[in-house]
């Protein structure tokens, strides 16, 4: 009888253990399913979807132990990165903090670097310095961390040396969506083109990488009162499509337009290309054609074109052979063969181990561009490099300082005259924090207060 009781107890325990193991396996399978979904969204750069799937996978990991802790740290890191790539820096900082509490920096030290970048953008410089130093303790050779640390330590100097420029959000033409990379489409600077994800465009689907509609090219004109009119889509067959279009430039006669197009095809990782179009009339453009021969593979991106004459074209790219993330390159047009030359890197005088983007040309021929690879106010800062003689060569990039540059990303500046211009900034505005808007800057004329004391000479003689 005792043996039968023991057998019954054993069978009950075996059944209970089997149920427990099966439940653990079910939980593990469910967790694994969420984790795999999160990883897929992240690796395919569907960052908007990734915010939800990665944070959801994080919450589904309820088990304890080293493996579960590591997995939870990974999901926190991926969630943070998705927020970072969609320009939501405060949320990114919160999730990087979670990953750090889970010691995931032991697996991915870059968490400390990325979190320091977020803190710097949020002007929490003391915390950013601490985080940069923690990362440098692990990766002492990191130039990016050294530049970031130097930027934090220099922010007081930038503020102290602030210029008298007055910065104003161009609310007449900007929206709560992205409005970026302004460029003049005529000699007088009375027609402005830019890229926008605002409602009313051709690309109505949401970009999985930006959480906004696909961008199109828009234009506005300056009226007689000096106000920008209601923006409208650039006219011309095939200019705006369901893909992303942006960052436009023109030759010196404003007869040729160059712009960036980033194709959107599901399950394909395609990079951006530069397209060109000839003017049909004063308002419309002909069917554009893609500039070929600039990249070796479809996954490489080329974009952000800039030109003075339509024959020498500067652009940004992540192609192999650069100095860092994205570099500035150039290509030249050969009239005889009607082809563009193989791209040439603009060299260490311009490029860094960071990112160089959004080139334009100043009125004096200087090269103006954005970089996060040199000490600055935060994120991308605008720099100006002086032209060397009449050559297509530039050197000594100089930070344009505050208030044109701020803690957030600033980029793509164009000049109207030595005192007036426009640029893109993600500083806090009526449209929110870290939203790309078009701003103007103006340097007021110097005003002097002159006090004149007049004395009657005869009275002065009599008093003597």
Q: Is there a contact between 308 and 365 (Cβ–Cβ < 8 Å)?
A: yes
Measured CA to CA in angstroms, residue 300 lies from 303, 317, 320, 326, 348 at distances of 10, 7, 9, 11, 21
pLDDT the model gives residue 455: 56
Q: Tell me how long the chain is.
A: 464
pLDDT the model gives residue 447: 55
Distance CA(413)–CA(436), nearest Å, equals 13
Distance CA(11)–CA(80), nearest Å, equals 48
Please, which residues have CB within 8 angstroms of residue 405's CB and are 6 or more apart in sequence?
Answer: 158, 376, 377, 381, 382, 399
Average of per-residue pLDDT values in the chain: 89
Contacts 24+ apart (CB under 8 A), 275-278: 277/236, 277/239
Q: Is there a contact between 247 and 196 (Cβ–Cβ < 8 Å)?
A: no
Measured CA to CA in angstroms, residue 236 lies from 186, 197, 200, 203, 357 at distances of 17, 18, 16, 15, 27
Distance CA(3)–CA(9), nearest Å, equals 10
User: Angle CA(155)–CA(156)–CA(161) in degrees, nearest 5?
Assistant: 100
Q: How far is CA 33 from the centre of its chain?
A: 32
- Give the residues of the chain that fall short of pLDDT 50: 1-7, 9-10, 13-27, 461, 464
pLDDT the model gives residue 144: 94
Tokens coding 181: 């990379």
Q: How far is CA 356 from the centre of its chain?
A: 10
Sign of CA dihedral 342, 348, 354, 359: negative
pLDDT the model gives residue 266: 66
CA dihedral 430, 233, 194, 356 (to 10 degrees): 110
Per DSSP, the three-state class of 173 is coil
Distance CA(289)–CA(257), nearest Å, equals 11
pLDDT the model gives residue 442: 97
Distance CA(173)–CA(295), nearest Å, equals 35
């Amino acid at each position: 009888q005792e043996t039968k009781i023991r057998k019954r107890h054993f069978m009950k325990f075996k059944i209970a253990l089997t149920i427990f193991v099966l439940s653990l396996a079910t939980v593990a399978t469910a967790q694994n399913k969420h984790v795999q979904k999160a990883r897929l969204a992240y690796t395919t750069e569907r960052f908007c979807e990734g915010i939800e799937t990665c944070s959801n996978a994080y919450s589904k990991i309820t088990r304890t132990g080293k493996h579960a802790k590591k997995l939870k740290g990974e999901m926190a890191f991926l969630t943070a990165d998705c927020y970072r790539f969609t320009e939501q820096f405060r949320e990114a900082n919160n999730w990087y903090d979670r990953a750090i509490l889970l010691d995931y920096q032991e697996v991915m030290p870059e968490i400390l670097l990325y979190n320091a970048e977020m803190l710097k953008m949020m002007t929490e410089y003391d915390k950013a310095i601490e985080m940069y130093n923690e990362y440098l303790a692990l990766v002492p050779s990191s130039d990016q961390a050294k530049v970031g640390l130097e930027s934090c330590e220099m922010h007081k100097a930038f503020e102290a040396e602030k210029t008298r420029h007055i910065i104003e959000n161009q609310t007449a033409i900007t929206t709560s969506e992205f409005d970026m990379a302004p460029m003049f489409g005529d000699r007088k600077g009375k027609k402005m083109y830019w890229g926008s994800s605002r409602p009313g465009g051709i690309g109505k689907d949401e970009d999985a990488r930006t959480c906004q509609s696909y961008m199109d090219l828009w234009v506005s004109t300056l009226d007689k009162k000096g106000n920008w009119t209601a923006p409208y889509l650039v006219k011309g067959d095939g200019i705006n499509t369901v893909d992303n279009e942006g960052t436009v430039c023109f030759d010196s006669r404003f007869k040729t337009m160059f712009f960036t197009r980033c194709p959107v095809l599901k399950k394909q990782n395609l990079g951006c290309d530069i397209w060109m179009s000839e003017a049909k009339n004063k308002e419309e453009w002909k069917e554009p054609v893609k500039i070929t021969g600039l990249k070796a593979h479809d996954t490489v991106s080329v974009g952000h074109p800039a030109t003075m004459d339509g024959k020498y074209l500067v652009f940004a790219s992540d192609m192999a052979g650069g100095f860092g993330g994205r570099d500035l390159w150039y290509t030249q047009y050969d009239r005889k063969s009607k082809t563009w030359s193989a791209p040439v890197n603009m060299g260490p005088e311009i490029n860094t181990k960071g990112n160089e983007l959004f080139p334009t040309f100043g009125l004096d021929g200087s090269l103006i561009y954005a970089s996060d690879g040199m000490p600055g106010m935060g994120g991308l800062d605008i720099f100006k490099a002086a032209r060397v003689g009449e050559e297509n060569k530039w050197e000594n990039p100089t930070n344009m300082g505050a208030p044109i540059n701020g803690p957030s990303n600033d980029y793509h500046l164009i000049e109207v005259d030595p005192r007036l211009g426009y640029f893109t900034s993600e500083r806090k505005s009526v449209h929110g924090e870290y939203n790309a808007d078009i701003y103007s800057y103006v340097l007021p004329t110097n005003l002097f207060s002159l006090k004149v004391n007049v004395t009657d000479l005869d009275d002065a003689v009599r008093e003597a």
